[in-house]
Structures are given as structure tokens and as C-alpha cells.
Structure 1
Amino acid sequence: MLSRPELHGTYGAVSTTHWLASAAGMAMFDRGGNAFDAAVAAAFVIQVVEPHVNGPAAEAPVMIHDASTGEVTVVAGQGPMPRRASVDTFRRLGLNHIPGSGLLAACVPGAFGAWMKVLQHHGRLRLAEVLEPAIGYAERGFPLLPKAAGIIDVLAPLFREEWTETGKIYLDRGVAPRAGALLRNPDLAATFRRIVREAGAAGRDRELEIQAAVDVFYEGFVAEAIDAFMGSAEALDATGKRHGGLLRGDDLAAWRPTVEPPVTAGYRGHVVHKPGPWTQGPVFLQQLALLEGFDLAAMPHLGPDHLHLVVEAAKLAFGDREAWYGDPDHVDVPLKELLSADYTLERRALIGEHAAAALRPGSPGGRSPWLPPLPEAPPPLEPAWRDQLAHGIPAVVRRTSQNRDTTCVSATDRDGNMVVATQSGGWFSSSPIVPGLGFALSTRGQMAWLAQGHPNSLAPGKRPRTTLSPTIVQAGSGEPLMAFGTPGGDQQDQWTLNFLINHLDFGMTPQAAVEALTFHTGHVPSSFTPRQQPPPVVVVEEGLSEETVDGLRRRGHRLQQVAAQSLGKVCATGHAGDGQVFAAASARGEQAYGIVR
């Protein structure tokens, strides 16, 4: 029994992690826009209404299927580390890892440029139209989500005493607002309005106006405000000390998003596209390649064989992620070998009848893998806000391995256009608000290693490997099928894998596949400061049969059962055949929403 209906329409579909963003995206269809206009409008609304998990300085790998060409491309909305950032820079500060909060981990903001490129080259509507909903919610207010209220409550002392610019926006006379309270961000509304106004001076040409908005952000008043702040401020961070930042205006001026081909592989007669190894995206394809050698459809869904194979494939694929993934503009990532049939066959042979105890990166092309040592888990800090500050992921408290969050936007139209992004970063809990702009900078730099010689080691101008990982799937004939993603940090490519397997192998409808019980392996090291190794358990939502539980334990798996409907928030749109589009959205978290017309 589904908790939400199967949503089919004939014009357009939007699914996002917030109902207000989904409604804003659908409004773009009403104005004559397409899927790209809808996704851009939804993404900017999410920056306003989910400020605890993203903002205008976020990262956004954006995947698109352009119906006019039939091509799938990736708009690389991950900004690089500053020119002034190096391993030696941090070593001289006495640090052995990049703090997950404060100013030191700030990258060039990537989301704004990425969405403008999508709008400029693929949308139909003007800048003011797609930003209007976001400006309205920032100006007139939006209901504060319970998780955001919880984070503000924990961090209220920090916002009152240290990050006072953040306190001006997110505290009400020094007190944390309640969940559901109407929250406004007039500074952010003014920033967006000024971008629209200054870009409008470029004239009536739509594409020139959007290009002018990009220049305003990366070389105009936004970049100037960031440069002034980062050049003078010091902020309390995860180290318990105050540090300045490394990002400057010239870093923003030198960067623009690029458009890249996706990494592509086949699965069960379909074509699956992911962003490159500057994300964790190819790990999804490695898992699929390993699993294609097994007849999952012949196994009981959520039976012990099904879960065992998926978990063991994930361990192997994520072992390779840890050893080999990094920014391919700076390092030689052996992606061809990692996805080759021979390598996959060799790795598949490692999946036995019993649970593997550790990650086992392979040796593609005869190379020797190397994993930097993980730090010991630090003891909890008191008061609670100090413990929150010490960890780079936006969570109320650090208690469960599933406490991960970001956002997702997916949109599809009747012409065959599809777009999906997992936008994250620039959340208010990890970095102070830039005065006058109404948003914080991203701390994505925490994902780079301070270890020379590793593919994901820090270097000036290099992208840290991100967990953000949207997916587009085409039918074998090349026709668009679906675009999907989920919040979830390191677990994104396990929860979305379960969704796709539910649909392709077990024949579930998209909404049923979204709602089905899900799971992941906890063997995967965290990409977030302080880079801990979680307990090596299979984390699974309540509801597994006793037969499956007993079967997994006999195979040597340790189980951690968590609350039902608590892992991930998969959002998907796509084509259902017969000229119809669909939207599916997880009921997990009670905020993701799909809309069709």
C-alpha cells in the first residue's frame, strides 16, 4: 500500500525535497517554461527554504538530457579550492585535516554559475521570472523546518556570541525560533533583487542578461563582499580556534562552470549516466557492473541473497572510490579500467558467501591503491554547539549513521527534457553568514585530504571530491527514462541504487520503488570532517523479515535497524510511456513532494 499516489501527467513533472520548491518549479510550466526553467526556479527556492543544508554558495552537479539533441551532459557546479590553499598552508597552521566548519574550507561557490548556465542555454524564461519565487520567500517568509529549527536551537550560543551576522537572520531577539515559525531573510532577498537589477542593465537579450548575472556574482558586488569578508574576518571553527579564510575575489573571477560529458555504463538494457570522479558518481556504475552478473530478479526482494549481494558490491565499489577518485583535471583517475569488463569480473569474484570485513580497493591497470589513515573518533564535546561545530555535516546531533542531508531537484517535460541535481553546501551551521549577502560560504573543501600523493589530496584550484551524485537513465534506444537523486552524503549512491534496482530488477513503479524499505552498508568512511570510519554494519530500516535478518547474520553481517522510512529522500521524474510524464517523491522526512500537470 503506497503512502502517496502514482503521479502521472502529460505536460511536466517536478519532484524536490521541499514542497515549496516543487510548487515554484511547476509555476514555471504555467508561464510557458520548460523542465530547465522549472529546475532552476526550484533550486533557488530550496536555497532559501532549506538553509540548513544548502544556500547560494552551494555546489550543484547538474545533469541534463536535452531533447533537441538527445545528449546527456553534466554542468559541473563544484567550485575549486582557492589559489592560496595548499597542504603546506594547512600544515603551517598545525592542522592535519581541513576543518569542516569556519572559513578555511571555503571553495568557490559553484551552484549559482551552474544554474545560470542551465537557464542561459536551455531555458526559455527570463532571470526575474525564475528568481521571483525565491525572492518572495526570502522577503515575505517561509515556514521553518523542524530539523532547521533544531540546528538553530543547538547553535544559538554560537550565533549570539561568535557568528553574530548569522544570529541577526536566524535568531529572534537572540532566541531560536520554533519549528513552523515564519522566517525571513531580507539580506538574501536584497542580494537576489540586486543581481536581477544589475543584470537587467545588460539589455533585453535574455542570454546576455543571464551572462551579466553571472558576472555580477563572480566579479561584481557579490564577489566584492566575499573578498572583503574573507580578507578581514576570523571565525571560530571546528578546531576550537579562530581562523581567517583563503578564498578571495580573484578566485571567483577566475572560475566559471564547465559542461562535461557524463560517465556512462549499461545495466539490464538501459544506459545509466553519472557525473565524473570529481564526485562519487562512478561508484554507482561500478556497483551496477558488479550486480549485473547476478540474477537479482530471481531472488526474493529484500531477501538475504538480495541484501548480501548489494552490500558486498557496495563495499568493493566504495573501496575504489576511496583509493582512486579525484578531480580528473588534476590527477589521472583510472576510470576506464575501473569500469572495464575484465576488472569487473576480477572484482565480482571477491563476492563470497560471507560478509567481507573491510574495504578492499582494487589495482586497476596494475596500480597499487593507497588509503590515507582515518583519524580516531573524537570524544563528544560539550556544550552541544561545540560538538556540532566540530563536525562538517549538517546534523542536529551526531548520533546515527543515517543523519545525512542535502537537497534534490528533478524536473521533466513533455518534450523529453530532463534535469536533476543534488545541491548542497553553504549551510548556515558550518560557516558564518557573509555580511550583507544573507548567505554562508560552502565548506566542501573539508573533503580533500591533507595527504600528498592521493588522488583527492588538496591542491590550489582543484575540486575536492564531492558526495553529490545525481543520475539520469535512458532506455536502450536512447529515449529519456528518468532523472533522480537523494540527500544522504556518502549514502546517496546506495539509496538511489536500491531505488533503481527496485524499479528495473523487481518491476516496481517509481513511487513504489521510492517508498520500499531501504538499507546501506556502514563500511564506507565518511567524506566529512573528521573523516571517521563508521561501525561496519548493515544499516536497515525496520521491517525486514526474520528470515532475512537470520540469513544476513549467518553470513556474518552485523545489523543496525533504524526507524522505518528514515533513510534518504529519493526524488525522481521521468517518462512513463504513452506520452506521459511522472513524478515520485519519498515520504521520508515529510517534506519531499512531487507535482505533475
Structure 2
Amino acid sequence: MFTTRPTLQGTFGMVSSTHYLASQSAMAVLETGGNAYDAAVAAGFVLHVVEPHLNGPAGEVPIILAPADGEVRVLCGQGVAPAGATVAHYRDELGLGLVPGTGPLAAAVPGAFDAWMLLLRDHGTKSLAEVLAYAIGYAEGGHAPVERVGATVETVRALFESEWTSSAEVYLPDGKPPRPGELLRNPRLAGTWRRLIGEAEEAGGEDRVAQIEAARRVWREGFIAEALVRQARRPTLDTSGERHAGTLTLADLAAWEASYEAPATYEWNGWTVCKAGAWSQGPAFLQQLALLPPEPAELPAYGSADYVHLLIEGCKLAMADREAWYGDAAGGGAAEAPVRALLRDAYNAERRALVDPGKASRELRPGAPLGAEPRLSAHVRAVAAGEPGAQAGPGAAGAGEPTVSADGSTRGDTCHLDVVDRWGNMVAATPSGGWLQSNPVVPELGFPLGTRLQMAWLEEGLPNSLTPGRRPRTTLTPSLALKDGVPVMAFGTPGGDQQDQWQVHFFLAVALREAVRGGLDLQGAIDAPNWHNESFPGSFHPRGMRPGAVTVEARMPREVVDELRRRGHDVTVGGAWSEGRLCAVARDPRTGVLSAAANPRGMQGYAVGR
């Protein structure tokens, strides 16, 4: 089978990420004796530097890890809503109908940094200075940015120059956006990490764990926390068209820390797929598997119009349930309890019967897994009903890169990385948020706050209502799969609401196709023509939807496109290589052979290994 690149195979270590510099930095850590977790942390901080339009240290990261000698766990790096982030404050005092898509009102408690530190402390072997050295080098010495960085900055140039001037100082030096082939530097960020390391080493001495704990305290209570709160309290122009101050306090930062939890899982044809819980959209992947025919032999031919139609319609049902039932159990939310019910065979048999094999649905149809009626926000009901003034969806977003408006609002986002080492440790992480267009750069630190609160509703009583101490439901959703109970594959993609569409298509392409060269055909599954639909409310401001809309790559066979249209899908044919930025690594437990592949779309993802 022809693929754009080979599926890499070796025995020492494999890395795949959405940026080649992050992949190579992770590989360098493996080469110097580090394990998969050391490598992932180093790569994560490099991604903050080289993909600043897609993630940052004050964003968030869910991580799924499978230690060679332990259980699969989810490490939650999604921060919560601050104590002052109440529906009453936003809706009644400020007069807002939605959380803004930019600015400090949209900032949750930053989560990424503490999650990386917890991963390093509990599972890594390297020191803080060793894993941060690569990010410091690229921030201080510079890196040649990919084209999308400059394009994003150019989109928000007017905002940076007139309002967010601290961002202009970093990303518009001499009035010019970053350009490929020229070095982009962020000395303030390098200085932040150097000071952090210095304070951690002074407090922790020669003890690696003590240093990491000291760094966590500096982030939550020291100079970094103080600078983040100063920035959050500055009135800032956001997508509402007004200037607002945020609610983040030092107490909020001091009270929160990353945590471990069991994954949500579903078994399919000998595979067990592990995802984060219903505070993410991860269970939507599992629901799509549960909605498939019970036996793989009952599936339509791979890649046929019947096959694509079936997956689109199943995705619509899963995403409708996401809107009605997903959220964080903390703070009184009815979040994770329904997940088990959503995956029950009887429930999915009922839901499967709703799919018309010959006609596309344009309805938003959440189910009632526990008998109670589903609850949707007033905004979603208006959008789904097509009421006048309701927002349409954002349209196709190519390659998992963000669609950015001049006001900084972003639809689709994110980075991804996967690592497997020679000992069999495996990790998948999807860092996001805190991107350059989310908030002004904190002048003292060199990076901005995030905007994940925009995914919560300003309406009481919903699973995803804005609630102090509760995680906003995130789109971030790394994956880890076991075969016959043994960890085999870690994978994921950027792409906002599209992540658990592209990942399902990838997983099925791996699971249903024959093995190539004695291993999983990772690259073939990544390269296969992909698609997404938008028949459900988006998670990003302004939270619209496009009933019936499907975007396919131009490489999809014409007869499949024509048949989808005949069944009522509004098909947009995008670029030949425009859907997804998937990454994957794998390990064959029988032989110990490691594999990796990366997405050619976007021209920056790379797998490395030996």
C-alpha cells in the first residue's frame, strides 16, 4: 500500500507529535536515558514554544499513560472555574449570554504546567532543568516558525497593536509577524523558566522530587501566580466587544492541582479503548464504537458510502448525548454517572435503530440513558431549531489548525504527542489552550492565560453549567488502546470538536485493515481520506452548528461523495489533505517491536524513532 511516509519500526523508542522539533526533542531525551514520560514532558514544553497559536503553559492537557508495570491512568490537567466565576456574575452583573471566546473572563485555573510536573515527578527520571532545556533553547535562541504562526498573528494584528500590546511585543517585533526561515524568539518565556528552575533548585537542593514540588509551589503561589493574577485582573477587550476583568485569584491557583483518575473504557472486537471521562468529550469516541453493529462483519465495506454514512450518523447521536449529559461531577454536576449507562448494549441498540441507512438526519437527538429527559441549554435549543439570530457553525477547519477571527476567537485548536519507550511505557497527551490569540501575553512571563471557560454555559442546572470548582467540558481527548488487555497503541489529534471524529476513523482503519510488515498499519490509517460533520453545537464561541454539513477530503471517491449528497448530506469537498493532524505510536507485546506514524497534513507533524 502506498503511504506518504513509512510506518516507522524499531525497538528503542518512538515519538510522534504535531511538530518535528517537539518530536526530536523527545527523542533526544530517550537517547540520553530518559523514559517515555521524561520525553513527553520535554516535548510538551517545546510545543508551548513552537506551536504558540495552539497551546501554552497556562492552558490545559489531559494525559493518558500506560506504565509498563502498572494500570492505565488518566492524568487530568484541566483546571477548574475560579471561585468568582458564577453564572450570576457573568449573566446578571455583566449582562453576558455566553462566556467570551477570549479575555480573562474565559480563563480557567491554568492546568497544563501542574500536570506536566506531576507526570515528571511520579513517572519520570529526569530533573526539571533537563526536561526544560529544550524549550528554553528554542525560546531564547529562537526557532523558525511554521507558516500558521505568522498567519494567526496577522489575523489578530489590529487587536495586538491597539489593545493587547504585550502580545505585539512578542509576536510583532518591528511590526512584522513571524515568518518561516526567520528566527522567532521569546526571551521572556525563557527567563521565566530559568527563574523557575533557579528557585526550585534553591528550595529543593539536589533532590529531584523536591525540586519539582518547589516548582509547583512557585507556579501556584510564587512569582508566576502573582503575575497571572495581575493579568487576569486587568480589564481586557474580548469577543463581547467590551473590556472585562477576570475572576482568577491567588487562592484559586493555590487550591488546584492536577490529579489522576481511572479512564472511561469500552471493549470492541478484542480492543479496549481508554479515554478521559465526561469532563472531556472522550466518551463520545466510546459511544461511536458502541453504536456500531455488534459484529465487525456486519459493518459496510470500509470507505464505502454506506460506511461513511453510518459513522456520520452515529457521530451525530453521540455528540447530541455529549451536549445533554457531559460535564464535570465536581460542584454538584450530573456528569460522569451517565457514562456507563450511555455505553450499555440496550441503550445503544435503541439509538442504533434511529439511524436511517438511506437518509441523513438534521436533528439533534440526545437520548435518555437513565430515563430522565435530556437537558439542553437555551442557546443549543435555539441553534438546533434554527431560530432567527442563532449562530451558524464555523464551517470547515482544515488540518486541525485553528480558525481564528480578528477578535481572537478560535474554533479548533490544539497539539498532540505520543511516546513509547523500550521498556514498554506509553503515553498520549493533548496540550491546548493558552494560545497567543486567547489573552494578552503576561508581560512578566511571556505567555497568556487560556480561554477554556468558554465551553461552559451561563445557565444553571446543566451538566456543563459554569460553576466554581468545576472543570469546563473540554474537547481535548487523547486515546490509548489495549488489545487483549495489553497496551498496544497511543494516538490523538488536534481539531476541537473534530478530534473524536478523526480518531474514530483512524482507529477503525487500524482495527479493520490487515497488518502491514507484521505490525499495525499506522501510517496507512493516518493517510486514509478523512472527513467530519458539524451537525451538533460547537464547543467554541459562538457555539453554532450546521445541520447536515459534512466536509470530506478531495481524495474521497467521487461516487461516495455523490451518494452522500443523494442521502441528504450537505457535502463540502475540502483540500486533498485537509482533515486531521493525527499522531500514533504502538508496541507489539509479542515481539517488543515499536511503531510510529505522523500526519502529513499541515506539513509539520513528524514521527521519529529507532
Bin of the TM-score, shorter chain as denominator length: over 0.9
Match of 1:229 in 2: 231
Match of 2:514 in 1: 507
Task: Write out aligned runs for 1:315-354 (5 A).
Answer: 315-330=316-331, 331-333=333-335, 334-353=338-357, 354=359
Match of 1:448 in 2: 456
Match of 1:584 in 2: 597
Match of 1:4 in 2: 5
Matches of 1:284 and 1:460, distance apart in 2: 28
Q: Which amino acid aligns with 2:274?
A: H
Residue 145 of structure 1 and its aligned partner are, at CA, apart by: 1.6
| Structure 1 portions without partners, runs of 5+ | 381-392
User: What is the identity percentage for the equivalent residue pairs of Structure 1 and Structure 2?
Assistant: 48
Match of 1:540 in 2: 552
Match of 1:163 in 2: 164
CA contact (8 A) 2:149 2:178 kept: no
Residue 498 of structure 1 pairs with residue 502 of structure 2: no
CA contact (8 A) 1:147 1:396 kept: no
Match of 1:463 in 2: 471
1:539 counterpart SS class = strand
Residue 535 of structure 1 and its aligned partner are, at CA, apart by: 4.7
Q: TM-score, normalised by structure 2?
A: 0.92
When residues 297 and 500 of structure 1 are mapped into structure 2, their CA distance, relative to the original with a 3 A threshold, is: farther
When residues 139 and 262 of structure 1 are mapped into structure 2, their CA distance, relative to the original with a 3 A threshold, is: same
1:187 counterpart SS class = helix
CA contact (8 A) 1:146 1:180 kept: no
Matches of 1:492 and 1:121, distance apart in 2: 28
Residue 155 of structure 1 and its aligned partner are, at CA, apart by: 1.5
When residues 149 and 575 of structure 1 are mapped into structure 2, their CA distance, relative to the original with a 3 A threshold, is: same
What CA deviation, in whole Å up to 9, does each residue of 1:15-62 have, x standing for no partner? 000000000000001110011011110000000111011111011001
Q: Which amino acid aligns with 1:147?
A: R
Matches of 1:99 and 1:404, distance apart in 2: 16
Residue 224 of structure 1 and its aligned partner are, at CA, apart by: 1.1
Residue 453 of structure 1 and its aligned partner are, at CA, apart by: 1.1
Residue 556 of structure 1 and its aligned partner are, at CA, apart by: 2.3
Matches of 2:152 and 2:259, distance apart in 1: 34
Residue 545 of structure 1 and its aligned partner are, at CA, apart by: 2.1
What CA deviation, in whole Å up to 9, does each residue of 1:303-344 have, x standing for no partner? 111101111110110110000000022322311211111111
Match of 2:582 among 537, 562, 570: 570
Residue 6 of structure 1 and its aligned partner are, at CA, apart by: 1.5
Match of 1:486 in 2: 493
Q: TM-score, normalised by structure 1?
A: 0.94
Residue 407 of structure 1 and its aligned partner are, at CA, apart by: 0.1
When residues 296 and 18 of structure 1 are mapped into structure 2, their CA distance, relative to the original with a 3 A threshold, is: farther
Q: Which amino acid aligns with 1:491?
A: Q
Match of 1:531 in 2: 543
Matches of 1:230 and 1:6, distance apart in 2: 45
Greater shift, 551-560 or 116-125, is seen at 551-560
Matches of 1:108 and 1:552, distance apart in 2: 43
CA contact (8 A) 1:496 1:570 kept: yes
Task: Write out aligned runs for 1:369-518 (5 A).
Answer: 369-372=374-377, 373-374=379-380, 376=389, 394-397=402-405, 404-476=412-484, 478-507=485-514, 509-518=521-530
CA contact (8 A) 1:268 1:292 kept: no
Residue 297 of structure 1 and its aligned partner are, at CA, apart by: 7.5
User: Aligned residues, how many?
Assistant: 579
CA contact (8 A) 1:394 1:430 kept: no
Q: Which amino acid aligns with 1:581?
A: L
What CA deviation, in whole Å up to 9, does each residue of 1:444-501 have, x standing for no partner? 000000011110010111110000000000111x221100100000000000000000
Q: CA RMSD in A?
A: 1.7
What CA deviation, in whole Å up to 9, does each residue of 1:486-531 have, x standing for no partner? 0000000000000000010233601100110001222121100110
CA contact (8 A) 1:156 1:175 kept: no
What CA deviation, in whole Å up to 9, does each residue of 1:517-560 have, x standing for no partner? 00122212110011011352121111222332232233222211
Matches of 2:551 and 2:295, distance apart in 1: 22
Match of 1:390 in 2: none
Matches of 1:559 and 1:395, distance apart in 2: 19
Residue 296 of structure 1 and its aligned partner are, at CA, apart by: 5.9
CA contact (8 A) 1:446 1:528 kept: yes
When residues 346 and 298 of structure 1 are mapped into structure 2, their CA distance, relative to the original with a 3 A threshold, is: closer
Greater shift, 518-527 or 56-65, is seen at 518-527
Match of 2:607 in 1: 594
Task: Write out aligned runs for 1:71-86 (5 A).
Answer: 71-86=71-86
Residue 33 of structure 1 pairs with residue 38 of structure 2: no
